[in-house]
């Protein structure tokens, strides 16, 4: 995972946070977070992490359990053993074998020099929320 300005904030395995988490750099979560996460850099959810939040970041990698919406400027990565329940908006989506994704993915190609059109892709579960990620609110 690329680091922004060399700064990485770590939420340890024994930590449990509720509320808004804001990071000017990158963020690694080993514990539990519930609420909102905004990072100017990357966000990495380790295998033992449990996160129920909406995340906005440059790139996101999920190896733990995540419930919420991802809005990613670059790449969303679902690692082997990771679980995402929610919607993903990103330029690139990588799902490794053994990762579980339940929701919708919107591939947003609106970068400079590219047309602002994305292709929606629905997970094969058939139970995905038909709303766009911007309309879905996680209680």
HSE (side-chain half, CA atoms, 13 Å) at 88: 29
Q: Specify burial of residue 26 (Cβ count, 10 A radius: 0-12, 13-18, 19+).
A: buried
Residue 36 pLDDT grade (very low, low, confident, very high; cuts 50, 70, 90) = very high
What is the structure's pLDDT at 110?
A: 61
The pair of three-digit structure tokens given for residue 105, joined into one six-digit string: 């993915």
Q: Please report the pLDDT score of residue 1 as a whole number.
A: 47
* Unique residue bearing structure tokens 């970041």: 57
- CA–CA separation, 22 and 28 (whole Å): 12
Picking from 63, 53, 60, the residue whose alpha carbon sits closest to that of residue 19 is 53
Res 5: pLDDT: 54
Q: For the residues 99-121, what does the mean pLDDT come to?
A: 66
- What number is the average pLDDT over the span 95-122? 69
Looking at per-residue pLDDT, the higher value among 39 and 132 belongs to 39
Average confidence score pLDDT of the chain: 82
């Amino acid at each position: 995972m690329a680091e922004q300005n060399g700064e990485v904030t770590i939420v340890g395995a024994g930590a449990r946070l509720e509320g808004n988490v804001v990071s000017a750099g990158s963020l690694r979560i080993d514990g539990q977070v519930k609420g909102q996460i905004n990072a100017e850099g990357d966000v990495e959810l380790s295998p033992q992490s449990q996160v129920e939040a909406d995340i906005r970041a440059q790139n996101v990698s999920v190896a733990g359990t995540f419930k919420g919406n991802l809005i990613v400027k670059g790449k969303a990565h679902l690692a082997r053993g990771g679980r995402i329940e929610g919607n993903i908006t990103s330029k690139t989506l990588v799902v490794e074998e053994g990762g579980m994704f339940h929701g919708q993915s919107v591939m947003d190609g609106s970068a400079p020099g590219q047309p602002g059109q994305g292709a929606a892709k629905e997970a094969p579960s058939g139970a995905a929320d038909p709303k766009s990620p911007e309309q879905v609110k996680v209680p």
